[in-house]
Amino acid sequence: MSSMKKRILIFSTAYFPLIGGAEVAVKEITGRINDFEFVMVSPRLRKDLPETEQMDNLTIHRIGRGNNFDKFRLFLQGPKYAKSLGEFGAIWSIMASYAGFTALRYKKENKQVPFLLTLQEGDTKAHIYSRAWFVWPYFKQIFKKADRIQAISKYLADWAREMGAKAPIDIVPNGVDVERFQDTCLPAGMARNKIQTDEKDIITVSRLVDKNGVEDLIKAMAFLSENVHLIILGDGELKGHLEEVSKNNNLNKRIHFAGNVAPKEVYNYLAKADVFCRPSLSEGLGNAFLEAMSVGLPVVATKVGGIPDFLVDGETGWFCEVKDPRSIAEKIKYILDEKNKEEVLRVMENAKKMVKEKYGWELVAQKMERIFNLLVFGGKSEK
């Protein structure tokens, strides 16, 4: 009984090497908790991925033939496959997606097993509804049947309640590898590890999709002087369109598409930049902002989703208006203006201190371990 209770069954729609914020969170959390054994059932999605793999304290079982239909196979076959892996102390669903539907099916067949739902969604509620409207009553059951919910922001906690959740909700954000960021990068603000020139670099780390507002950031460059350049880290479906926008606005010489880069390289790019900006249309939390803050980079963001959890205007960063290139440009100008240097340094130091104190992965893992213990043992630590 004891060993069974110490096993957590995870349903996730994707996992490493397919990387997003949720996948990083699972890896960082499970790798730091040794008192539980974690077993994941996930779609295979790619033929080169092994059916079974061990990563730290996590065993991954991949279902399917290595294509996108594997997400449906997770829903269809996942509960039965998970049953063949033995008994578990709790189910943990990563997001209210295919994984959430799979966890819901498993929960209905195993009512005695407590169900933890993690919310990491960054899309707007309207976008989520546009994809799930035809199963909306069933989708809402994911929230209603959960025994406990972990949301990475207040915004997502509120969304869970709107969806009918009655279970306790814990707000536990994603973290930042604070030591790695701060040890490998330069001190806040002053040198950017580049030749001293008048050139200024704005940087964004974003998937090139509509919700991240990259087009608005590109258009903002038209309101900034010629010595200001924009570096875009990331790739996505809008890349061709965004390159066209740059060209049509005569900005292509000042807009640099760097594509996807390795995590360690992201640090180096951030360390050489002058301002981080992502004018999101929606955001579950926004780890890219926290990473930028961690290296001492001033941040410009929109007041949407989970961003207000960590960004206070004039205290830890600056807000610009949504879908407003001129507003974006004005905030960037303010930060780059030498007259505001002291204020900018103060805000950067505030943000860096906040990330270190509140968003380290060790702290996040401790909070998650407490949730697992509450879920499995009712708050009593097992002896």
Question: What are the backbone dihedrals phi and psi of residue 297, each rounded to the nearest 5 degrees, phi first?
Answer: -110, 130
Q: What is the pLDDT of residue 127?
A: 86
Instruction: Report DSSP letters for 40-51, one per residue.
Output: EEEE--STTS-S
292-318 tens-digit pLDDT:
999 999 999 999 999 999 999 999 999
Give me the chain's average pLDDT, please.
91
Question: What's the CA gap between 380 and 302, in Å, rounded?
Answer: 42
> Is pLDDT at 352 greater than 70 in this prediction?
yes
Check residues 6 and 194 and name the one with the higher pLDDT: 6
Q: With bands split at pLDDT 50, 70 and 90, how would you rate the model's confidence at 134?
A: confident
CATH number at residue 210: 3.40.50.2000
Residues 102 and 46 in one domain: yes
Q: Is residue 190 part of a domain?
A: yes
Residues 200 and 310 in one domain: yes
Instruction: Report DSSP letters for 61-124, one per residue.
Output: EEESSSSTTHHHHHHHHHHHHHHTT---SEEEEESSSHHHHHHHHHHHH-TTS-EEEEE---S-
Q: How many structural domains are present in the chain?
A: 2
Q: What is the pLDDT of residue 187?
A: 43
Q: What is the pLDDT of residue 1?
A: 40
Beta strands at 148-151 and 169-171: parallel, antiparallel or unpaired: parallel
Residues 275 and 197 in one domain: yes
> Identity (one letter) of the amino acid at 374?
L
Q: Is residue 383 part of a domain?
A: no
> Is pLDDT at 149 greater than 60 in this prediction?
yes
Question: What's the CA gap between 40 and 53, in Å, rounded?
Answer: 10
Residues 201 and 328 in one domain: yes
> Identity (one letter) of the amino acid at 338?
E
Q: Is residue 164 part of a domain?
A: yes
Residues 43 and 157 in one domain: yes
Residues 198 and 342 in one domain: yes
- Average confidence (pLDDT) over 354-378: 94
Residues 17 and 146 in one domain: yes
CA 314 to chain centre: 24
Q: Is 30:94 a contact under the CB 8 Å cutoff?
A: no
Q: How many CB atoms sit inside 10 A of residue 135's CB?
A: 11
311-324 tens-digit pLDDT:
999 999 999 999 99
- Average confidence (pLDDT) over 191-217: 82
Among 25-34, 188-197, 236-245, 301-310, where is mean pLDDT lowest?
A: 188-197
Q: Is residue 286 part of a domain?
A: yes
* Tokens encoding 124: 């707007």
Among 19-23, 225-229, 311-315, where is mean pLDDT lowest?
A: 19-23
Q: Is residue 382 part of a domain?
A: no
Q: Is residue 254 part of a domain?
A: yes
Domain that holds residue 252: 178-358
Residues 206 and 241 in one domain: yes
- Average confidence (pLDDT) over 22-37: 94
- Average confidence (pLDDT) over 57-85: 96
Q: Is residue 276 part of a domain?
A: yes
Residues 200 and 155 in one domain: no
> Is pLDDT at 273 greater than 90 in this prediction?
yes
Q: What is the pLDDT of residue 184?
A: 47
Residues 246 and 314 in one domain: yes
Q: What is the pLDDT of residue 318?
A: 98
Instruction: Report DSSP letters for 161-223, one per residue.
Output: HHTT--S-EEE----B-HHHHHHHSPPSSS--SS---S-EEEEEE--SSGGG-HHHHHHHGGG
Check residues 17 and 87 and name the one with the higher pLDDT: 87
Residues 297 and 280 in one domain: yes
Q: What is the pLDDT of residue 122?
A: 82
Q: Is residue 188 part of a domain?
A: yes
- Average confidence (pLDDT) over 139-158: 97
Q: Residue 53 to residues 49, 70, 184, 289, 312: CA-CA distances in angstroms?
A: 9, 17, 31, 32, 42
Q: What is the pLDDT of residue 3?
A: 65
Q: What is the pLDDT of residue 2?
A: 55
Q: What is the pLDDT of residue 146?
A: 97
43-65 tens-digit pLDDT:
999 999 999 999 989 999 999 99
- Average confidence (pLDDT) over 343-365: 96
Residues 218 and 312 in one domain: yes
Global confidence as pTM: 0.89
Q: What is the pLDDT of residue 378?
A: 82
- Average confidence (pLDDT) over 210-223: 97
